[in-house]
Structures are given as C-alpha cells and as structure tokens.
Amino acid sequence: MSHRRGAVARIAAMSTGAALVLAAAVAAPVMAEESGTQEGPRAYPRAVHAPAQLPGAQQDGPGADRYRGPQPVVGGHEATGEVPFITALYTGGQFSCTASLVSAHWVLTAEHCVGSGHTVRVGSLDRESGGETAQVTEAVREPSGSDVALLRIDKDIDTEYAVLGEPGDVATGTRERVYGWGYTRSDWTQLADRLKYSEGSVYDDNCNVLGATLCLDNDGDTAGGDSGGPMLTGDGKLVGTCTAGNKPTDGSGFGAYSDITQYRDWIDETIAG
C-alpha cells in the first residue's frame, strides 16, 4: 500500500489520461473510456488500474483476457493481530492473489485470479510460512460474469471463517478495512512478506471500475497481489473482494472492490452444495 494524498491526488490523476486496468498479476491495461469511466467531482482516477495479481501468474477461463496485471497495499499498515480466515493463493507454487476462507473448505477470491494448479495457505500473516495449507480441487465462477469466484479445497480447515455481509451492509460512506500481500512500492515491485491493511471509506458504491462497484478512499493504495483480498466493514463483515487499483499507485488511497453482497445467494448455495 502506498502513502495517501487524498482527493487532490485523485483529481491530479484524472488529468493525466492514463489507462485503467484490473488488479491481477498479469493484467493488460484497459483504457478508462472502455471501462465505463465515471465523470464528475468524485470520478475515480484516470490512472492505470490493474488486476491485483502478480506478473506472470497463470490464468485461464472467460475472464483471463480482461484481468491481467498486479496490485498490493502500498502504504497502509502491517497487520499484527490474528486474521484467521486470511488466505494466500498460489498458482503453480507462486503467490498470485489474496483470498478469504468462508467455510470449512471454500475460499472466496477474485474471478481473475482463477487459473490451474492452485494451493492455499490459510491463517498466517506471513505470505510464505505458517498457517495451514491445502490444494484447490475445484473453481466455481459467479455465473453472471462478475469478478468473484469460490475455490473448493481438499480438506476442512477448522478456524474462524470470514463473516459474509448481506445486501445493504455496504454503501457510500461505509467505513472499511482491506487486507492484502500486494506490492509495497508504487511501481509494483517488492511484495509484502507480512500481511498489510489499509483503512478508509467507500466514496462511491456504484463506480463501475472494470465491473467493480465499490471505490475506496483509504490510507494505502491497492496494488498487485491484493486481488481477491477482503474488504471488511467496521463490524467485521466481508462485503467486497479486490478487483483493481492504480498502476503505478499515486498515493490517492484508491482501490476498486467487487460487492460480494450482491451474490450472497449464489455464495450460500455453492458452499452448501
């Protein structure tokens, strides 16, 4: 996560005419004009927005061409307390995205993180050690084409799962916190070894950045590696997963998150199946 400059930085970024891309590990830039750019005083920055995955991470499936690029928390803070549901997602043995354990054997993440050869590490603040590991045996994409997916793992993990939000739990002005192991430098280099977080509020709950509708104004910027990571409300409910952020980060505290409360019925049905 990068340091924050607030609304002034957002306005400055808008004037640059840069591109918008998803926050994934291998995302190709998508121009803002092609992505439903919002105009007006609270428009999101016209800077590069990339999927918060890592460069070189393997992807497949219908969203693979749309979601290519990295994202982490630049600036922000290092996590110190337990986050038992936090999950590191690996593709072919390489860290690729952040995720959340939402039941004994299901992990919630971004659709653009889905590839093949996935494993997970659950419950550790350290990206490469600790916690409990498992193999991913199945990926289920949200059927309407959103940037949301569930991954089934090969064993039950007994811990405190993320509490999922309901429709109406998040709106413009909602205070929130986001977590991720994304890059720690504005040029998308140097992954965080230790989990990081940033805090702030939703400044637009209908911004539509590459399909994500929750745009944030935080004390750290979303970056590569943060993709799929959780957004929690002040009372600890998981209401969003990371889709996009600025590349390079600009200190505006920007991040774009998919509102998972819109897909709560699908999530419940998939987990129960």
Is 125 in the same domain as 188? no
Is 102 in the same domain as 127? yes
pLDDT at position 52: 54
Is 146 in the same domain as 209? no
Within a domain: 74: no
pLDDT at position 235: 97
Q: Cβ–Cβ contacts within 10 Å for residue 269, how many?
A: 9
* Nearest Cα residue to 181 out of 263, 86, 113: 86
Reported pTM: 0.80
Within a domain: 241: yes
pLDDT at position 50: 58
Within a domain: 150: yes
Within a domain: 29: no
pLDDT at position 190: 84
Assigned token pair, 163: 């509490």
Strand partners, 231: 178, 240
Q: How far apart are CA 167 and CA 37, in angstroms?
A: 24
Is 155 in the same domain as 179? no
Within a domain: 78: no
Is 101 in the same domain as 151? yes
pLDDT tens series, the chain, 273 aa: 443 434 333 322 222 222 344 554 433 222 223 333 333 333 434 344 556 555 444 444 333 333 333 333 566 688 988 999 999 999 999 999 999 999 999 999 999 999 999 999 999 999 999 999 999 999 999 999 999 999 999 999 999 999 999 999 999 999 999 999 999 888 888 888 999 999 999 999 999 999 999 999 999 999 999 999 999 999 999 999 999 998 888 889 999 999 999 999 999 999 998
Within a domain: 144: yes
What total number of domains does the chain contain?
Answer: 2
Which amino acid, one-letter code, is at 4?
Answer: R
pLDDT at position 258: 98
Is 186 in the same domain as 247? yes
Is 135 in the same domain as 198? no
**Structural domain boundaries enclosing 183:** 174-261
Within a domain: 36: no
Is 152 in the same domain as 125? yes
Is 141 in the same domain as 182? no
For residues 177 and 273, the answer to whether their CB atoms sit within 8 Å is no
Which residue blocks in the chain are alpha helix, DSSP H?
A: 7-14, 264-272
Q: How far apart are CA 197 and CA 223, in angstroms?
A: 12
CATH number at residue 116: 2.40.10.10
